[in-house]
Amino acid sequence: MRTLAIINQKGGSGKTTTTVNLAAALGDRGKRVLVIDLDPQASATAWFGVADGGKGLLDVLADRAELIDQVQATATLGIDIIPSSTWLAGVEKVLAGEIGSETVLKRKLKKLPKDRWDYLLMDCPPSLGLLAISALAAAQEMLIPVEAHVMALGGVAQIIKTAEVVRERHNADLELTGIVACRVDGRTRHTQEVVEQLRAKFGKLVFKTVIRENIRLAEAWSFAQPITVYDSRCHGAEDYRALAAEVVRQER
The residue ranges that bind ligand ATP (CB under 6 A) are 11-17, 39, 41, 43, 126, 182-183, 211, 213-215, 217-218, 221, 236
Nearest by Cα to 244 from 2, 32, 21, 8:
21
**Considering CB distances under 5 to 8 angstroms, the limit depending on partner class, which of Mg ion, ligand ATP, none binds residue 213?**
ligand ATP
Find the shortest distance in angstroms from Cβ 115 to ligand ATP. Answer: 29
Nearer to Mg ion by Cβ, of 46 and 104: the residue is 46
Number of Cβ within 10 Å of residue 214's Cβ equals: 22
Q: Does 108 bind Mg ion (CB under 5 A)?
A: no
Give burial (CB, 10 Å; 0-12/13-18/19+) of 57: buried
Find the shortest distance in angstroms from Cβ 244 to Mg ion. Answer: 19
Residue-wise over 58-94: b if at least 16 C-beta within 10 A, else e? bbbbbeebebeebbeebebbbbbbbbbbebbbebeee
Nearer to ligand ATP by Cβ, of 3 and 16: the residue is 16
Nearer to ligand ATP by Cβ, of 85 and 214: the residue is 214
Give yes or no for a contact between 21 and 228, defined as CB atoms under 8 angstroms apart: yes
Q: Which of 3, 8, 16, 228 contacts Mg ion by CB under 5 A?
A: 16
What is the binding site for Mg ion (CB under 5 A)?
15-16, 43
